[in-house]
Structure formats: C-alpha cells, structure tokens
Structure 1
Amino acid sequence: MYLHHVAAYLPAAVVTNEHFTRLNGLASDWIIERTGIRERRKAGPGENANTMGVAATRALLAELPAFDPAGIDLIVAGTYTPHDTIYTAAHAVQRDLNINEIPTISISSACSSLLNAVEIVEGYFALGKASQALVVVTEHNTAYNNEEDTIAGHLWGDGAAALLFTKERLAPGDLHVVQVMTGGAAPVGKADEAVTLKPVEKGIVMPFGRDVFQQACTYMTRITQQLLDKNNLTVDQLTYLIPHQANLRISANVVKQLGLDPARAVNNIDRLGNTGCAGSAIGVAEVWSTLKEGDKLIVTVFGGGYSYGAMLLEKAAAS
C-alpha cells in the first residue's frame, strides 16, 4: 500500500495570541510557553468541516493533473467537529468528485482518526474491495470552541488535509506504508472526561490537561518505539517524526524520550494551533516536497478518549 500524494487546506483568517490577550487577558508569552502556539487559522463564513474537506481534496487533485479521480473507489473521512452528522464530510467529498456507488465512510476516534482511517483503507485493500482510496481529515474546531474558556479556548485551529492511498505504486515518489499500529487506552486515567465535546452542552472542554499531557507523552513515545523495534530501525534512521499537533511541549517530551534530534520533528502548531486529526496530515504535506529516496518518517498520534497510533512511511526506491 502506498501514499501517492497529500495536500492541505487552511482557512485564510489568522487569529493571533493577541486576540486572546484582548479577550481574556492571556499574555501571548504565557500561551507560547505552555503550548507553543503563536497563531491559528479560523474558518470563514460559509466554511465548515465539509467545505474544508472538499477544498483539501481539490488541492490534492490540482497537484495531480495526470491522475484520473474516477478511479477512486473508497472515501474515508475523519473528524470530531462535523458540520453535519448525517451528510458528512465523506459524502460532501464524494458528491464534489461526482463518483457514484463507492464505499463512503466517516469515522471519529478524536485526534487519532487519521490512522484509523488508514487502517480502514488497509482492510479494504486487503479484501480486494478497493484499490484507490481517498482519506480526508478535517476539523472545524472554532465552530465548537468557547474562546472565553481560559483553560483551552486558545488552543484550537481549523484545517484539513486529503491523502490519496493506492494498493499498487503509481509513481516513483510514492511513500510505502510500511506498517500502521493503533490502540486505545480509554480505561487509563481521566480518558472519559479529560477532553470532551458534547454539542448539546458547551462544546470542547479540557478540564484535565495535565492528564492528557502525561498520557500523550507516554503513549506516543511507546507506540513509536514499538514501531521502530518491529521494523528493526533505530531512531537515528528516521528522517522525520510527525507528532499529533496538540502541544509543542508534548512533542518536545516525546522527542527527548526517543532520543531523536529535535530538528527532525515536524511541528506546525505554532502557526496553526491544534488542528485535531488533520494536524499530522498537514505536517506530511508540509515536508512532502523535501523527501528523498529512502527517507523514513513516522506519524504518531494521540487523541481525546486516549486513542493512539503510529504509522511508518518510506520513500520508495525507484524501480
């Protein structure tokens, strides 16, 4: 299985830390010290999880002029901030592509949705039920966020990414999906209440950030090391580690535990805020053009509800 291409969509509106200084009295330096965030993107009027998913897909296809999207035979979308829980982002993308009668799936495993979506693709490919799959991850956090929440209101940003996976390699530059590992730690700590989004109540809240921090550092490090060990790799052989973009301090902690050169960690949270399950996919898009034959990267994620995972990708050798 291969990743043929990835592209991102980011809303135009930029919200700096000074917005929260004016609103809540939170100093920019205070936000940066605790989260690493300097600014984030905010969806504009008429934008939502569906439209951003469509925009990311259009961006992907615009960069692949020789690819015929009519060959896409599976769409999987991930989000925990849906615009519509019935006509989902997956359906919106399918309608925009005008590809009828193919499996179209929406999932939510919090910020781990990207890797669980990839696992769904693996299953369809293995069963011979699909051969070219589009994975779309899109978050409209600001639709649910309470900016006046001084605990977590300043964390969230909006954005989306689209990834094209194929059963067979289409081009020399494709990334081989070497292995995906996922798990869930819902029985651990405060997984049931540390981060929640109850639309009928008060949107995204994070009353137990310390527990999230501790568990994210533990599980992202553990699953990444397990993935390295299973593939007989050392951390020094990684070109990039792309962690879930929840907090720059979490990323730094994971990097330190693994013994990885910090320069190899890909972070966009300083510019984009926490973009949920889209953050690490956006990170892959950001480094895509820099990848060389033989490069290896790991995407590692951790989400509310304490789901987690890691994926090893390798730039395929030219045949």
Structure 2
Amino acid sequence: MASYLPEAVVTNAHFTRLNGLADEWIIERTGIRERRKAAPGENANTMAIAATHAVLAEAPAFDAKSIDLIVVGTYTPHDTIYTAAHAVQRALDINEIPTVSISSACSSLLNAVEIVEGYFAMGKASRAIVVVTEHNTAYNNEEDTIAGHLWGDGAAALLISKERLAATDLHISEVITGGAAPVSKADESVTLKPVERGIVMPFGRDVFQQACTYMARVTQQLMDKHRISAEALTYLIPHQANLRISLNVVKQLGLDPERAVSNIERLGNTGCAGAAIALAEVWDTLQAGSKVIITVFGGGYSYGAMLLEREL
C-alpha cells in the first residue's frame, strides 16, 4: 500500500486572496486547511504511475511481472481513451492482461476491489494492482465560492493477491457497495461535465445528509455481520470529503473519534483516492488482529464499505 502526493501545497490563504473566503470559514465548514495541487505536466496518469512505482518499492517480494490484472479508478481523467489504467500497464510493461478503468465517483476504490474479487473468483487473475488517482484541480473552478476550495490532487495504489504472501498482509474480509441514484438530488448535487463547467456542487447540504446516512448505515451493516464492536474496530477510514461528515458518522456508530483516520485537513477532498491515501498513512501502525473499515460515499450517491483484517 502506498500513495503519491504532488509537492505544491495550497493553503486557505489562497482562497482568501482570490475570493475573500476566510480561513476560519473554510475550516469550520469543511475541516480543510490546505490541499495538494498537481504541478504542470502532472495529471491523473502520471500520478497513477507514481503511486504504482511507490507501492512496488514497498513490496519487493511482490514481483511486478506477476501482475495479471490492472484496475484504475478516477473521475478526473487525463485521457478518456488512453486511460490511467493503460498508462499504468505501459509503465509496468506487462502486455496482454486485463486492464480496466472505472469511474463510480468517490466509490471507485471499493468498486475496483470488487472487480478484482470477480476476476479472482472466475480464475481469470491471481495478482492485481488497484490504483485510484484524482486530478481535481484540472477541472476545478477556484473562483466558485461554493466548492472551489474543496479539492486536492493525489493517488494511491494497493497490491492484491489471491493467496496470502506475508504475515503483514491485510485480508479483504468483505466489500459491500450500492448505488442510491434514485434518492433525492443524486442526479444534480455533484456533477462534472467536462464540456460544460467542470466540478460543481450546488446541493452540498443534500450530499452531507445522504453521506452521513449511507456511510453510517453500511458501516454498521458490516460491523453487525462480522460481530465487530465499536471498541474492537482499530480504524474507521471515511471518505475524505468533509470533516463534519466523518465526525457525524463516528458519532452515529459510537466510535472513539481517535479511531477515525482523517487527512482532509492536509489534503482536501482527493476523491476516490482519499480513503486509500489514508490507509497508506496508517499502514505501518497496523498489528496482528487489527480491523479496519473503509466507508465511502460519492456523487451519483454511490456508497460502500470494506472490512480489512490483519490476521493473528
């Protein structure tokens, strides 16, 4: 598990100068203090490749040439034809293997893992790399006082094997996902229409309410099914969209707020990469018996939760 972050840091002071949004106002409503911005020449593809190299460097025992499936998720593509998945394949120089690019908004990480599970179950692959990458600033309008200050860039990658390779591996116990597109304002609350206006969020309150509802519900469903108490959960990693959403979900679940992993203060909303980056940040703290749940909610009102366990 590894991540890649651009070097450039954009603080709230930038938006104060640009459109008068006060630092305190942004922090109070979102929890965001700063975010990363891709440099000229960086994009969703280059960041996906950088995360890929980083994760392979972290796992020398995982032979890159043994990878037989690539799945990459993003809603901010550099190229919709030569996708980030193709860019990763070309960087790995592994020919003629399944190479899949997906977009289910901020749920892409979990849907990518489900795709891997399907390939594994059908015997079509046994070692996969999943990459999530977002170049939000390529599409963002910074002068938009509703949502222009939310977005950051970054990528993360994880290696998944059908067989356990090391004692430090995390076991994917279960993934639950769903779509709630018929609910409320799912069709217009958050949109990115490249030929029109880029990322817009005209109904943030509705997003907030639905995210709090669905993230708490699916996480509780997973905890109940696997008989995991609030005290037994090592970490909850919520989608990094808004700190107030995370705190609301934690409160509903009765969890210790210290067990909720957050990077939105430093990175802003990094889309489907946010939770994966957060997992990479706590990876070295996990011990035998650790239980981690990643819970996500995205535009179009896709949602899900994934239980990861480090076996004893």
TM band (smaller chain): over 0.9
The whole-number CA distance in structure 2 between the counterparts of 1:181 and 1:164 is 20
2:157 to 156, 162, 165: 162
- Structure 2 partner of 1:3: none
Offset at residue 234 of structure 1 (A): 1.3
Shift of 1:66: 2.8
Aligned residue in 1 for 2:100: 105
Q: Offset at 1:233?
A: 1.4
Q: Separation in 2 of the partners of 1:70 and 1:235?
A: 40
- Give the TM-score taking structure 2 as reference length: 0.99
1:39 aligns with 2:34: yes
For 1:168 and 1:280, the matched residues in 2 are separated by: 24
Q: Distance in 2 between matches of 1:316 and 1:164?
A: 17
Letter in 1 for 2:258: A
Residue by residue over 1:7-44, the C-alpha shift from the partner in whole angstroms, topping out at 9 and shown as x without a partner, is 00000000000000000000000000000000000000
- SS of match in other structure, 1:116: helix
| Number of the residue aligned with 1:305 | 300
CA distance in 2, matches of 1:55, 1:31: 30
Q: TM (normalized to structure 1)?
A: 0.97
> Following the alignment from structure 2 to structure 1, what is the Cα–Cα distance between the partners of residues 60 and 289?
25
Q: Which residue does the alignment assign to 1:57?
A: 52
Give the CA RMSD over aligned residues: 0.5
1:99-138 residue pairs with structure 2 within 5 A? 99-138=94-133
Deviations 1:149-190 (A, max 9, x none): 000000000000001011010000000100000000000010
Consecutive unaligned residues of structure 2, counting only runs of 5 or more, are none
Distance apart, 1:300 and its partner CA: 0.2
Query: 1:279 pairs with 268, 274, 282, which one?
Result: 274
Q: What is the CA deviation profile of residues 293-314 of structure 1, one whole-angstrom value per residue up to 9, with x for unaligned ones?
A: 0000000000000000000000
Q: Are 1:186 and 2:173 counterparts?
A: no
Q: Secondary structure at the match of 1:194?
A: coil
Structure 1 equivalent of residue 63 of structure 2? 68
- Shift of residue 65 of structure 1? 2.2
Q: How many residues align?
A: 312
For 2:35, the aligned partner's letter is R
Give 2:171's match in structure 1, choosing from 163, 172, 176: 176
2:250 alignment counterpart: 255
Q: Is 1:151 aligned with 2:162? A: no
Counterpart position of 2:75:
80
Structure-2 separation of matches of 1:226 and 1:62: 36
Aligned match of 1:217 in 206, 212, 215?
A: 212
CA shift, 1:67, in A, is 2.3
Distance 2:208 2:63 in 1: 43
Amino acid aligned to 2:139: Y
Q: Within 2, Cα distance between the matches of 1:185 and 1:216?
A: 11
AA in 2 matched with 1:110: A
2:238 maps to which of 227, 243, 263? 243
Return the alpha-carbon distance in structure 2 between the equivalents of residues 64 and 293 of structure 1.
Answer: 18
